[in-house]
Structure 1
């Protein structure tokens, strides 16, 4: 068995689901996808239907070449239906020969274990691209909306979330935030104090006082990164997020685990076919 490529949203947008073998794909798409590597990657996903009839994917074309791709296997789709109330996605990976952003959609199950819900290969990191990819992911997941989302600090992604998931609470990943803090400020004692403020359960007034004291102690009032980070404190400080449900996804272990998976299985020399194959192998 294979996938049928069904037109949706115009001639440059398509998806595949478990229907009608390879015939439609061969006739209507094979001639249009000029990029051999992209064609091989899509053919690989289609062939996975023999093993996983629930696997789904959506892609867009530009000038006959693959532009954006989102896919999820059957177990990932099932996991999302059960555990997708909190959705995390990381946009910081560019592990492929074409330097295309790789987005990993994830969450946690009832045992606190990381679940990969799906993946996306993006043409660029513009707001409209993230809007498109988020909509594609939502379509694959039957438009089940998450209650909350956790992301890195990507501004374009944050704007896309406001448009596609306007009712979801939005938190910045503590692991990414702390990693960026380590790059911006080379003082371990200050970083310990910052981590205390990130995770501490303080009333907002107490947070403000502690923040002022910490910045004052180390003379960092003019630090641009801290000024920017303070301006979005409602997205990362537990003091402002305790009334919202995020499950266990604020913890560093999930992001670190995915980061390790990417590094172990995918290299920057990967072609698209290698990337998709290796990533799927990592999940099995």
Structure 2
């Protein structure tokens, strides 16, 4: 507090008439204390940091296991405080996680491209589908793509987009061969480009269609959980306090889920067409999941099937676009 505030507080709590403390008196007193404390401040600072070292959990990486529940809410499955971020530490963490899960590996996991963590996942979770965080990958692409465009020409960006957004693995591999030939990319060429190609199964969408990720494609939910913990713990929190605060966080998340459970059980979904599929979804899904279903269902309502041939059962599926044109897809 500034001296003027200090003087007001003292005068307000003093209770004696006529004995007021001025701001200048506060300034003089502080100056005197500082002069008398010369030679002792360094020792006090050292003792302060020694105390912090003894009590602080600062420097212990916080590793949350985060998922998504039936309301599309982030849910905290567990966490750990790690001594470091070395591969053997992650191996220990994942093995302990397996013990908690009765030896059942997760179907899918999303992380950044940390090499130590990736190696540990492949070692402990060999059957788990490992996906790289979309946000981190896009950041790397934004950082490197301008350099690649300047090296290989403006057309490179178009071919890059075709390769990344391929609808099938075969198409993706075909575009890669075409890119290598067109831009004369060799195995000893751009190191980053070769790296992202070798790990394509972990981030290119067409390679990940065979796995269920519950709508997640980035590690943002873990980062949001980290941000959520900021209201409960900080770098000064002692370890025994962390356990108590962690329980509060878990309780808060469970109450949030219970609140959504209550709303889903006590509200009725608004039907768009009254179609049997829509009615069944409204009865089975939670509110948030029914909204996701409705978005798809609205598109379904604009399509129809027309039988074209009887001998091979051929149909024409059409969608009427906003521009008044017909998009035609034929399936056999």
- Aligning the two structures, in what range does the TM-score lie when normalised by the shorter sequence? 0.5 to 0.7
Q: Distance in 2 between matches of 1:161 and 1:246?
A: 17
Secondary structure in structure 2 of the residue aligned to 1:181: helix
Distance 1:236 1:179, change over 3 A: same
Aligned-residue CA RMSD (Å): 3.8
Higher strand share: 1
Aligned pairs (5 A) from 1:82-161? 97-98=58-59, 100-161=60-121
CA contact 1:106–1:114 (8 Å) conserved in 2: yes
Task: In structure 1, list runs of 5 or more residues that go unmatched.
Answer: 1-34, 39-95
1:240 corresponds to 2:207: yes
| 1:145-192 CA-partner distances (Å, limit 9, x unpaired) | 212222211222222122221222222222221123233344799889
Distance 1:118 1:212, change over 3 A: same
Task: Specify which of 166, 169, 179 is matched with residue 204 of structure 1.
Answer: 169
Deviation (angstroms), 1:232? 0.8
CA contact 2:62–2:81 (8 Å) conserved in 1: yes
| 1:86-121 CA-partner distances (Å, limit 9, x unpaired) | xxxxxxxxxx732x3322211122233322211122
Aligned pairs (5 A) from 1:181-220? 181-186=141-146, 197-198=163-164, 200=165, 202-211=167-176
Q: Distance in 1 between matches of 2:114 and 2:238?
A: 23
Task: Specify which of 55, 62, 70 is matched with residue 37 of structure 1.
Answer: 55
CA contact 1:138–1:144 (8 Å) conserved in 2: yes
Q: Distance in 2 between matches of 1:148 and 1:160?
A: 14
Which residue pairs with 1:30 in the alignment? Answer: none
Size of the aligned set, in residue pairs, is 188
CA contact 1:178–1:195 (8 Å) conserved in 2: no
Which residue pairs with 2:220 in the alignment? Answer: 256
Secondary structure in structure 2 of the residue aligned to 1:145: coil
CA contact 1:261–1:282 (8 Å) conserved in 2: no
> Which of the pair has the greater relative contact order for Cα pairs under 8 Å at 6+ separation?
1
Which residue pairs with 2:193 in the alignment? Answer: 226
Task: In structure 2, list runs of 5 or more residues that go unmatched.
Answer: 1-52, 253-332
CA contact 2:76–2:225 (8 Å) conserved in 1: no
Distance 1:261 1:145, change over 3 A: closer
More displaced 10-residue stretch of structure 1: 187-196 or 134-143? 187-196
Which residue pairs with 1:51 in the alignment? Answer: none
Q: Distance in 1 between matches of 2:235 and 2:184?
A: 43
TM-score normalised by L of structure 1: 0.52
Distance 1:36 1:175, change over 3 A: same
Q: Distance in 2 between matches of 1:241 and 1:169?
A: 8
Which residue pairs with 1:11 in the alignment? Answer: none
